[in-house]
Structure 1
Amino acid sequence: MQQLPQAEPHQNPQDNLADINRSASVICRVRPLLPYETDQQLVFNSNPNSYLYQPVKNRFGDVTLQEQIFSFDHTFAHTDSNEIVYSSLEFERLINLFFNSGVVTCMSFGQTSSGKTYTTTYLVNRVLQDLFNLNSENKYSFQMQYFEIFGEKCTDLMTGTEIFIKEDNMRNIVIQNVQTIQLETFEQAYTCIKQGQQSRLQTATQRNNNSSRSHAVLKLMCTNNTCPIADIGEFYIIDLAGSEGSGDRTEHDRELIKQAAAINSSLMALKSCLQARMVASSREGELRYVHIPYRNSKLTLLLKECFELSSIKKSHTMIIAHVTPCEKDVKQSVNTLKYVSQMKIAVQNAKILTVNPENPVVWDLVKVNQFISEASNNRIKPETITGDGMSGLQLCKLPEPEFIQRAMTNPGVGEKAAKHIYLKLWNKVIDAKMVVRKELKKPVMTQKDRDQQEQEYLLELIKRSK
């Protein structure tokens, strides 16, 4: 075989960093060969590219190495430490987005035994440390939920009880029966995480004595103590279960085969949503309406906001592809690198919605109060619904039973009347969504079309000025 390259020292060019102004970034990390592995290393990173050398036999039986190059926003070699990964990706910027009511999602993706949990565990600890270090004035308060998803079953890692991920009438994703823990210190948060990790579904497999068989989801929430109507920030850190090729399942028993099928099915649902999101933004950098099948699994339902073509909130999704350098894993590594690298090329920013004054999610407190008064013919005092203050988005996230219960505290307002007002709000939300969908369904204009339109506009101005 020809001589292979050596790993290069880590480079950190500014334009390769995960850009907070984009709605997605794709990263690649190669783990080192483990002490017991005797394979030749066939995957190398030279930021921002990954190089994979696949053994190919010609018709004479000679083996040559076919080079394949994959481009990412940032890559990390097998020699790069967790500290280099964290500092290079500037997680502090993601934390600031989280503080400002944004939605951050960080997913570790790759085959089993590729180092996902190793990376994720470090990222969780560092993010928690920085949350408290950057909050010295106690401007924010933090909460956490920690649960696992295995197929269609979801379990709270803190209590062991079954939880339910659903979509409410307002199309918000809600997690029922999950324990929400108020975080006061890093030490408390660290203890909770360690406790939850011990409850995660793990099984000894051919590749890993402690193979994670579920997707572990840490959901952090941030409340702005100085602005009650500010929306809650959300930070998801997800350690996905590893995909398995046929070679990894040769010695599986029936239970392991069942687990592998559930894992691969859920990952396929995730891939389908990411693929649809790519198709939606594949023409001239413009977004077009495409059905995204996020309801096909509990994992994708939870991550619905990652796939949105339009949003009222800023969000950033970071996918870290993990690959092994081993010759026996080349096929799996090619699949991982090919799939994730495509996202860098295709995924465009989610369109930030222009302000539609009829859309309840953009209402301020004044507009919320006005709606409640008008919809109830002044029978409901707005403060009985909104308390100390509530934005339109917060009003839309208020569960229907709670909305009705609050409305019924007003004299003469029964359940039927309260539900009627809730349905008025619901109808306004649906109408606003239809406006967005129609906008996304408009024909996509090419640059040539835009230039022609601008030229016609200028000619019309000249004509009118004469």
Structure 2
Amino acid sequence: MDTYFFENRDFFANRIQELEILSKSARKVDSSDESEEVPDTAVCVRIRPLTEEEIGWDHIQGVLRDQFGAANIYEPRRKVNGKPDLNRTSFTLDHVYGPEQSTKDIYDDRAQELVQFVGGGGMSMLLAYGQTGSGKTFTVSGMEKLVVDKLMEENMSGKRDIHMCIFEVAGSNMYDLLNERNPISVLEDPFGAMQLVGVLEKNPTTSDEFLRIIDTAKELRSTESTAKNEQSSRSHAICRIRVVNKESPNSPEGTFLLVDLAGSEASADTQHHSRERMAETREINKSLTTLKDCIRARALWSIGRGEASQKHVHIPFRTSKLTQVLKSAFDVNNTQTCKTLVIACINPSILDVVHSKNTLRYAEMLKVPVPKAKPRPYDERIPTTWENKHVQAWITKNSGKPPINPLLLAPRENGLQFCRLQEDEFVGRVLLTPGVKPEQAKLLYYKLWALHIDSRALMNGPAAPNETKATDAALKKTRKTKAIKPGMFFRLNEQDIKDGVEILMAMGVDTAPKDRESDEVRWICSVVRPAPVTNGAYELFVAKQRAIDSKRLNDEVKLEYDIHTRYYLIKGS
């Protein structure tokens, strides 16, 4: 096909221009075809420019970005009668970056928020995938420099500790690139987390030192000459950066995973490989397939998170060593939220469009369409029905003192998006409000989830918002008729309040001899006082007890113990 292309080069170049002009005039944007991005996963395409060598060989660009943000592939073919023709295939992903856009443009648009997320105690992962020679390592190297500059900038010095390690995954083997390629292993601890055993971590204090360490690791990475690239990466290189907040020791540490995946190869590129190289290629393709399955499964789970009908999602991370190392980024049981950015790197030459099409097909499979559901009418008891104004009103009402700024916690999120925020991201946003402590942030998060969990029982019913007061009154009436049992909480009437104690927990019936004429059963109750941290939390004092008539224990309060804050919270508040 290469010889056939050069014989008809002018035809192909002119035909591509004609088809691009026709597509601009014929294509219309249909809003019904637009889909939302998966909340935690973005899949983008980067088309690199033609190299000087390719231009010197009279290559033309066969992969173009159109004005609608799609990647168009023009594949040369020969008709049955021998005449040349083109096949056009279009791929639409979250974003397509053309040859004129730099790594800095991609960083500003997509990766900068990942760095900020890591700084707040979250987890981010950036993966570069593509054919060998498509610019993966160039893209990751540029991203590493920009990420390092941001993490090590002057206003962050002294506030954070930065720890980093770099290693490669080659088939089922792993090597430490900061320790003379010493073999390392990955083991699962009793809590289900994957731990790197034998890896050397370094603690750079300046950007220059950090970048020198990265350059040293690159020299030890495994590369081989291929038909497409003289120094093709034959292993997956992973740079793990841990960010520890010294000002808040209890805050979760942030983690950034920058992954330069091994270059993929088609079967035509491996026909001259040795047996060892063929086995190496099979391992690479196997790990890339498993990675795709894990990313897609995680994205499917992310879409359904917060829904009452969410189903179990199996993530096959144990199938390859690469996905075992990255398990924390896929694990749906991980307490840290992970934001993932996949950059599919494309060689634009028309002679490589077969590889480019395979890369875009791979990337397209990572993009999970977000289903459009019929919106449910607003119900103040169901957070997933809230608009942004309702979310901000709820934050203002329930945040306690000092008040939490709703514009910092939920600037644009609706109720469903608000419920999808995991604890670390939620707390990180709350702490942006001056004077707020982590305990207050966690308490607000637990309040939201208590309300969200209780609302699931209402999701199957058509109850309207105006029924809320009547329902609450009925519940209160029902509670008053309940029999008293040990462990129940009760709110006292004003005349029974002593020393500011409004709530008691029933411990047991008072069996002491009666010194009065009344036959009313008396209960021994322990004192419950408001916690000093914030509103809505209570602390139980078992040793401080009072005896009180059962008839005065008629207003039950639903409190449940929270193992994180070690306080009692009002259920459903």
Output the TM-score relative to the length of structure 1: 0.70
Q: 2:402: which partner in 1?
A: none
Q: 1:98: which partner in 2?
A: 118
Displacement of 1:141: 1.1
Q: 1:216: which partner in 2?
A: 237
Native 8 Å contact 1:164 1:175 kept in 2: yes
Q: Establish whether residue 156 from structure 1 lines up as the match of residue 176 from structure 2.
A: yes
**1:186 aligned partner, one-letter code:** S
Alpha-carbon distance in structure 2 between the residues aligned to 1:275 and 1:27: 15
Distance 1:174 1:347, change over 3 A: farther
Q: Establish whether residue 31 from structure 1 lines up as the match of residue 48 from structure 2.
A: yes
Q: Establish whether residue 3 from structure 1 lines up as the match of residue 12 from structure 2.
A: no
Alpha-carbon distance in structure 2 between the residues aligned to 1:354 and 1:126: 27
Displacement of 1:92: 3.0
Native 8 Å contact 2:236 2:262 kept in 1: yes
Displacement of 1:244: 0.5
Query: Which of 217, 223, 247 is matched with 1:196 structurally?
Result: 217
Alpha-carbon distance in structure 2 between the residues aligned to 1:462 and 1:230: 39
- 1:248-305 Cα offsets, whole Å, 9 max, x none, are 1122223322322221121122122234335556779954212111011111112223
Query: Which of 205, 224, 232 is matched with 1:184 structurally?
Result: 205
Q: 2:145: which partner in 1?
A: 125
Q: Secondary structure at the match of 1:145?
A: strand
Q: 2:321: which partner in 1?
A: 298
Identity of aligned residues (%): 29
Q: 1:174: which partner in 2?
A: 195
Native 8 Å contact 1:32 1:325 kept in 2: yes
Distance 1:82 1:195, change over 3 A: same
Query: Which of 45, 60, 75 is matched with 2:96 structurally?
Result: 75
- 1:436-465 Cα offsets, whole Å, 9 max, x none, are xxx99xxx99xxx95xx3425679879979
Structure 1: gaps (5+ residues)? 9-18, 356-390, 392-438
Structure 2: gaps (5+ residues)? 1-11, 25-35, 372-416, 425-438, 440-451, 475-573
Alpha-carbon distance in structure 1 between the residues aligned to 2:131 and 2:115: 28
Q: How do 1:262-277 and structure 2 match up within 5 A?
A: 262-277=283-298
Displacement of 1:87: 2.6
Query: Which of 352, 359, 368 is matched with 1:336 structurally?
Result: 359
- 1:204-260 Cα offsets, whole Å, 9 max, x none, are 111111111110100001010111111111001110001100121122223322322
Q: 2:267: which partner in 1?
A: 246
**2:98 aligned partner, one-letter code:** A
Native 8 Å contact 2:37 2:370 kept in 1: no
Q: Which moved more, 1:216-225 or 1:336-345?
A: 336-345
**2:160 aligned partner, one-letter code:** Y
Q: 1:455: which partner in 2?
A: 462
**1:306 aligned partner, one-letter code:** A
Q: Secondary structure at the match of 1:107?
A: strand
Distance 1:259 1:21, change over 3 A: closer
Q: 1:54: which partner in 2?
A: 75
- 1:183-219 Cα offsets, whole Å, 9 max, x none, are 1111111111111110000111111111111101000
**2:178 aligned partner, one-letter code:** M
Alpha-carbon distance in structure 1 between the residues aligned to 2:131 and 2:306: 31
Displacement of 1:132: 1.1
Q: Which moved more, 1:103-112 or 1:135-144?
A: 135-144
Alpha-carbon distance in structure 1 between the residues aligned to 2:304 and 2:164: 39
**2:176 aligned partner, one-letter code:** D
**1:241 aligned partner, one-letter code:** A
Distance 1:285 1:313, change over 3 A: closer
**2:367 aligned partner, one-letter code:** K
**1:455 aligned partner, one-letter code:** P
Alpha-carbon distance in structure 1 between the residues aligned to 2:326 and 2:51: 33
**1:296 aligned partner, one-letter code:** T
**1:323 aligned partner, one-letter code:** I
Q: 2:278: which partner in 1?
A: 257
Alpha-carbon distance in structure 2 between the residues aligned to 1:180 and 1:22: 31
**2:349 aligned partner, one-letter code:** C
Native 8 Å contact 1:163 1:175 kept in 2: yes
Distance 1:88 1:275, change over 3 A: closer
Q: Secondary structure at the match of 2:89?
A: strand
Native 8 Å contact 1:214 1:263 kept in 2: yes
Which has the higher relative contact order, 1 or 2, with Cα contacts under 8 A spaced 6 or more apart?
1
Native 8 Å contact 1:20 1:316 kept in 2: no
Native 8 Å contact 1:46 1:75 kept in 2: no
Q: How do 1:289-438 and structure 2 match up within 5 A?
A: 289-309=312-332, 311-346=334-369, 351-352=420-421
Distance 1:256 1:347, change over 3 A: farther
Distance 1:121 1:310, change over 3 A: same
Native 8 Å contact 1:277 1:347 kept in 2: no
Q: Secondary structure at the match of 1:79?
A: coil
The structure with the largest alpha-carbon Rg is 2
Q: Establish whether residue 146 from structure 1 lines up as the match of residue 169 from structure 2.
A: no
Native 8 Å contact 2:167 2:237 kept in 1: yes
Displacement of 1:111: 1.2
Distance 1:463 1:58, change over 3 A: farther
**2:16 aligned partner, one-letter code:** Q
Native 8 Å contact 2:63 2:74 kept in 1: yes
Displacement of 1:144: 0.4
**2:167 aligned partner, one-letter code:** F
Alpha-carbon distance in structure 2 between the residues aligned to 1:114 and 1:354: 38
**1:33 aligned partner, one-letter code:** L
Alpha-carbon distance in structure 2 between the residues aligned to 1:25 and 1:156: 29
Native 8 Å contact 1:106 1:238 kept in 2: yes
Displacement of 1:311: 4.3
Alpha-carbon distance in structure 2 between the residues aligned to 1:185 and 1:137: 9
Displacement of 1:307: 2.2
Alpha-carbon distance in structure 2 between the residues aligned to 1:65 and 1:34: 23
Output the TM-score relative to the length of structure 2: 0.58
Alpha-carbon distance in structure 1 between the residues aligned to 2:317 and 2:62: 35
- 1:390-444 Cα offsets, whole Å, 9 max, x none, are x9xxxxxxxxxxxxxxxxxxxxxxxxxxxxxxxxxxxxxxxxxxxxxxx99xxx9
Q: Secondary structure at the match of 2:187?
A: strand
Q: Which moved more, 1:214-223 or 1:262-271?
A: 262-271
Q: Establish whether residue 236 from structure 1 lines up as the match of residue 257 from structure 2.
A: yes
Alpha-carbon distance in structure 2 between the residues aligned to 1:21 and 1:338: 18
